[in-house]
Structure 1
Amino acid sequence: MLNYHSIGVAHGNPYVLPPDAFARQMNYLAAQHYTPLTLDAFVRVLAGQMPSPNKPVLLTFDDGYANNAETAMPILREHHFPATLFLSTGLVDLPGYLSWQQVRELAEANWDVMPHTVTHPHLPKLDQAHQRAEIMDARRKIEAVLGKPAPVFAYPYGEYNRTTLRILRKNGFRYAFSTDDGWATNRQNPYKLKRIVVRSEDSLETWARKLTDRDFAEGKEAWVPNLSFQMSAF
């Protein structure tokens, strides 16, 4: 499961991926016959309700940057790839972030939109009432705008505590994503699913290795680059 944020000019920010790098990664997925999943298909595969397709991958975007619609969406549309957006609803319509019209356009382009809180706080620093408001207000807003259930969550900064987990369980969330590097599997706690956080400093070769080597994706294995890797093809 791949975790993206902003697709734009990096300026040294590891969570901002240049558009050309993003395009190369999507070309690689297409050339290597990966199957990007809708969130519903991902959930059904994880729950054992449907067989896994060939080389499944879930493309997720956190926060709600305007360039997700302006830059990432056209690239994904070229390949007919779906994606999932974890949206901080309080950022909508702020400079550099999505408008509600753009959120609707993403949903119409086969993007699933799920809550990422209202204001993107450090949840463990909040008491139970404020955590619940951040999570549930975002969910209710998304469901009201798009008319679809939004029962999957991603933690801002990857942070949570027992209170956070209790709120998610009590309010019927099915899954939640962390920012712990690795592959998501049905053996993990459903509220602590891992993702491969995409960083701008990673070469295409390094990024591709994380898709195929679980230990490497989780940082358990050092790696010497394979100089025969043919990046020029992508």
Structure 2
Amino acid sequence: MLNYHSIGVAPGNTYVLHPDTFVRQMDYLAAHHYTPMTLAEFASVITNKMPSPAHPVLLTFDDGYANNAEVALPILQQHGFPATLYVSTGLVNTPGYLTWPQIKQLSAAGWDIASHTVTHPHLPMLSKKAQREEILAARTQIEQELGKSANTFAYPYGEFNRTTLSILRKAKFRYAFTTLEGWASSDQPPLKLHRIVVDSQKPFEDWVQQVTEATTS
């Protein structure tokens, strides 16, 4: 499971990956026969309802940057790769972020869209009521806009507490993704799945090593 954010040009920003580097990474996945999956395929594999494809990988994008549609989508389409967007709905239609028409474009292109809260807060610092509103309001809006289920979640900053987990369980979220380093697996609790956060400041070779170690461990 690879976790991306912005695909653009911002030297020194860990979470902004240069488009050329993103192209190189996607070319590597294609050349080495990795199989990017939809959330439905991921769920079927992790629950052993379907055999795992060769080198399965879930490509996730957090926050909802406009360049996910403008830059990342065309690159992924060249390889026929699906992806998953975890969008903070309060950022939609603000400068630098996706619009709802762009999100619908991603959905139509085969991307899964799900909740990353409304305002991207530090959830453990909020009351139970405030956490619930952040998590559920984003999910509700996504489902209303797209007419599709959005029953997975990604924690802003990778942060959660027992209250967060309780809210997700009661609302019947199927999976939630952390920033705990590593590949998601069936050995992990479904609301504490791991991801490899792609660091734009690390050399390409380090990224290859991370991906290789994760898929062979």
TM-score, L = length of structure 1: 0.91
Superposed CA RMSD in Å reads 1.3
Question: What code does the residue aligned with 2:137 have?
Answer: D
Match of 1:74 in 2: 74
Contiguous gaps of at least 5 residues in structure 2: none
1:154 is aligned to 154
Q: Which moved more, 1:77-86 or 1:9-18?
A: 9-18
Q: Tell me how many residue pairs correspond in the alignment.
A: 217
Aligned residue type for 1:169: R
Question: For the Cα contact (< 8 Å) 2:55–2:215, is it kept in 1?
Answer: no
Does residue 78 of structure 2 align to residue 40 of structure 1?
no
Query: What aligned pairs does 1:56-205 form with structure 2 within 5 A after superposition?
Result: 56-205=56-205
Q: What letter matches 2:102 in structure 1?
A: Q
Unaligned runs of 5+ in 1: 218-234
User: Using a 3 Å threshold, how does the CA distance of structure 1 residues 215 and 55 change in structure 2: closer, same or farther?
Assistant: closer
Distance (whole Å) between structure 1 residues aligned to residue 207 and residue 133 of structure 2: 36
* CA-CA distance at 1:125 after TM superposition: 0.5
User: SS at 1:180's partner residue?
Assistant: coil
Contact 1:210 1:216 survives alignment (8 Å): no
Equivalent residue letter for 1:81: F
SS in 1 for 2:180: strand
% of aligned pairs identical? 63
Q: Which amino acid aligns with 2:69?
A: A
The residue aligned with 2:10 is 10
List structure 1 segments (4+ residues) > 6 angstroms apart after TM superposition.
none
- CA distance in 2: counterparts of 1:211 and 1:193, whole angstroms: 16
Paired residue secondary structure (1:54): coil
The DSSP-based 3-state class of the residue aligned with 2:97 is: coil
Aligned position for 2:206: 206
Looking at structure 1, the residues matched to 3 and 110 of structure 2 have their Cα atoms a distance apart, in angstroms, of 17
- Asked whether the equivalents of residues 10 and 200 of structure 1 are also in contact (C-alpha less than 8 Å), the reply is no
8 A contact 2:37–2:57 mirrored in 1 = yes
Highest CA radius of gyration, 1 or 2? 1
Output the CA distance in 1 between the equivalents of 2:107 and 2:42: 17
TM-aligned CA deviation for residue 205 of structure 1? 1.2
Given the two structures, how large is their TM-score scaled by the length of structure 2? 0.98
